[in-house]
Amino acid sequence: MRKNKKIKILHLLETLDCGGIERILTSIYSNIDTNKYQFDFLIMRDLPHLYYTKEIEKLGGRIFKYYTKKNKLWNHFYNILYAIRHYGPYDAVYSNWIAFNGFSLLIAYLCGIKNLISHVHLIQKESTNKFKNFYQEKVFKSFLKKEQIIRLACSKEAGIALYGNSNFEIIKNGVDYKSFSFNMKIRNKIREELKLQNKFVIM
């Protein structure tokens, strides 16, 4: 790790719109010491507005976007390589791309990144494309078996689907329950906005 500097982690995921993976990563970022850690995000959706953009940028994170058509591996390769080389150096690369976890971490490995993290959040169905199945199963998944890969899963089933008989750690998705706690001020404000004061409301 670099001395007296933030530990920089590059997260790879499909988008930063309103979704489960995005919420988990943003929640983690908002609950760690941002003086010590910096999260950057490389996403494959070049959309102008994403749900978590403001929150991540407020925490000091950077978001890099690119657009690619399906199955264009060379485009993924170029953008991952460019992000690591141009925006790094990074202490770790954390991939949440599921089907592309092995592919993206292989690129990071070739770039000299020591800490490689794969995280699977769901069970992906087998593709009807035989060539795609071949390179995912025989090439990319096999790389995830290497010792230096930190393998994470949100459930036993998801972990087995991606990692097979390799060891992996289960990290269950956490939710900040305090954000759902009853708040009288918020209740009154919403009722006032909707003109529902002193009315019986069923939700």
Q: What is the pLDDT of residue 117?
A: 94
Instruction: Give residue-wise pLDDT tens across range 133-192.
Output: 555 655 677 788 888 899 999 889 988 888 888 899 998 877 777 777 888 888 889 999
User: Is residue 197 a part of any domain in this protein?
Assistant: no
Average pLDDT estimate for 2-22? 81
User: Is residue 146 a part of any domain in this protein?
Assistant: yes
**Residue 170: beta bridge partners?**
153
Tell me the whole-structure pTM to 2 decimals.
0.79
User: Is residue 16 a part of any domain in this protein?
Assistant: yes
Which stretch of DSSP H or E encloses residue 58? Answer: helix 53-58
User: Could you tell me the CATH number of the domain that includes residue 38?
Assistant: 3.40.50.2000
Token pair of 143 as six digits: 């790389």
Instruction: Give residue-wise pLDDT tens across range 108-117.
Output: 999 999 999 9
Domain that holds residue 133: 7-175
Token pair of 199 as six digits: 């009315």
Closest CA to 7 of 101, 107, 105, 88: 88
Q: How many domains does the chain have?
A: 1
Question: Order of strands, edge to edge, in the sheet holding 37-43?
Answer: 62-65, 37-43, 7-13, 92-95, 115-120, 149-153, 169-170
User: Is residue 198 a part of any domain in this protein?
Assistant: no
User: Is residue 187 a part of any domain in this protein?
Assistant: no
